[in-house]
Amino acid sequence: MQKALRKNGEKRRRLSLSILTRWYIHEKCIASVYHNKDILAVIFSDTALLKSDEGDACDKALATYRDDEFWQDAQIVLSLIEPISKASRKI
């Protein structure tokens, strides 16, 4: 059958398999960051942390924290994931 399909110029495709997605875990992780923005502000105000050996990583994290688009995107993602997470808990 595959040979016949190839002769007709059709491409062979694999069957898609579903995978288990733990929406609840993703939701809680994103929500934790989003809802603790004020605590992150305190952490990023610690000058000793910012001057530590992990300076580059802290600089990147601080830039992300200061990025308003990051927080808007997080809110959008949460609004999309929350209903999926709630529905999947009922299944």
- Which amino acid makes up residue 79? S
Q: Between 62 and 56, whose confidence is greater?
A: 62
Checking if the pLDDT of 47 tops 90, the result is no
Checking if the pLDDT of 78 tops 60, the result is yes
Contact 66, 18 (CB under 8 A): no
CA distance 61 to 81: 23
Q: Comparing C-alpha atoms, which of 73, 91, 72, 79 is closest to residue 21?
A: 91
Predicted TM-score (pTM) of this structure: 0.66
Q: Comparing C-alpha atoms, which of 70, 71, 88 is closest to residue 23?
A: 88
Checking if the pLDDT of 53 tops 80, the result is no
At 66, the pLDDT band (50, 70, 90 cuts) reads: very high
